[in-house]
Structure formats: C-alpha cells, structure tokens
Amino acid sequence: MKRFFSCLALSFFVAAISSTAFAQVQVGFRGGANFGIVSTPSVLDGLSSTIKPSPGFTGALFLEVPLSDRISFRPELAYVQKGFMVRESFDLNLSVINLPIGASVAYQSQDLEVPLLLKFNLTDGAVQPYFIAGPAVSYAVNGRIRTRGTGLFRTQPIDIDLNYGGALNRWDISGVVGAGLAFDAGAGKVFGEVRYQHGFSRQVQVPVLNLNVRNRGVAVSLGYSFPIGN
C-alpha cells in the first residue's frame, strides 16, 4: 500500500517536471470545506445516537494537463480533514422541569491525499462547466477524538489523540466525482467546485465484529488556475 501511495505521489511530480512539454498546462490551487461522514455499521442500527457530518478544511495544489480539446488529466496534492460526529441527547426529568442533557463526540483525521482525476470540459468560452472523476489515495497523518457536553450547558472540549495501527487504518482508497464552473479571469481561471468522495477502505479492523466503517464526504471549494510553459 505504501508503494502504491508513493507511485501516485511520484506521478504528480513527474507530471510537474514534464509540464513544459505541453501547451496550456495549468497549475492551480483550491481551498474550501469538507463535510466528512462515514457509512453506518449495522451494529449501531438499534441505538438512538445520530451520526452527523463533521466539517473541516480542505485544500490542494494541482496540475491540469490537456489530453484533448475537452479532456484533461488533473493530479492533485491535497490536505483533507475527514471524520464524523455522533450526538446523543436525552431529557432528565426532575418532576418540575425537564433538563436537556447530551454529548457530542467528533472523530477527526488530518489526511494527505493524492487524487488522480480526469476533467471533462463541457463547453468553451468565458464560462466553462465541467465534470471531474477518478481515484484517490490518502494517508492519515494524525487524528483525534473530541468530546464535549451539550444540552443546557456546553462544556469545554476534551481531545484524545488517536494511535493508528492495529484497529485503526491510516490508508484510504476512494473514488471522487464532482462538477464545477470555471470563469476566465485575466490570464487564468477562477472556479467553484463541488465533489463527492466515496471511500472503499474499511477504517476500523476489529476481529469478530464486522464494522463496515468507510469514509464519505462532500467538499465545496473555490480556486484559481493559470497557464505555465509554452
């Protein structure tokens, strides 16, 4: 798996080195928010806890290498905050009044990611709608579990660092699909983009228990790209 990740990263830099051989190669950056969540394992079906998206930052540097008039290869080197949030709440009956009591638990990981995408431009002109699709591989550099009390009073968060290895998987292979709209802006392009990421790697490996926990996420980004080379 590590060799696979290294090959993906190497392809990004090989494309960068050879980019001057292509006309209208674009280099760019994007930044925005990722709303991470996970698939719900069946063991939680009978519980009242609610799994909700965990918002976090995402950003990337990328190249856009034309393969034809409408199709480009877009390797990225990205940072993504993934995770999910679990909320539990109930009322404490004190006869005279019901006190709302609850807690939230957020799992958050800081991932380095290499998406290898194809970009399909639908039209030419000053405004260009497009689609993107392709695989991605990511590595969780670190992670934490953040807990806090909610309800009538909101407590200060308590953070617990995660130890990867064993039950927790650092690696994640996923598929990415998305759509965007680019606008001419001087020599470059300004764009807005929405993408969905569907993880295929099981994130929790526990003997006996079948915990089908896989990453999911929706990211919204704004960015800018400009031509380099000839």
What confidence score (pLDDT) does residue 9 get?
55
User: What's the chain's average pLDDT?
Assistant: 81
The answer to whether residue 222 sits within a structural domain is no
HEC assignment per residue over 6-49? HHHHHHHHHHHHHHHHCCCEEEEEEEEEEEEEECCCHHHCCCCC
- In this prediction, residue 99 carries a pLDDT of 45
Model confidence over 45-88: pLDDT tens digits? 555 567 788 899 999 999 999 999 899 999 999 999 998 887 76
Tell me if 180 is assigned to some domain: yes
In a domain, 224, yes or no: no
Q: Look up the domain containing 116 and give its range.
A: 2-18+31-204
Three-state DSSP at 205 gives coil
- The rounded distance, in Å, linking the Cα atoms of 188 and 192 is 14
Q: State if pTM tops 0.75.
A: yes
> CA-to-CA distance for 24 and 167, rounded, in angstroms?
46
Nearest to 219, CA basis, from 81, 28, 71, 61: 81
Residue 171: what residue type? W
74 lies in a domain? yes
Structural domain includes residue 213 = no
- Counting the structural domains of the chain, the total is 1
Element (H, E) at 73: strand 71-93
Confidence of residue 131 (pLDDT cuts 50, 70, 90): very high
| 3-12, 67-76, 91-100, 157-166: the lowest-pLDDT one | 91-100
pLDDT of residue 45: 53
Whole-angstrom distance, CA of residue 99 vs CA of residue 163 = 36
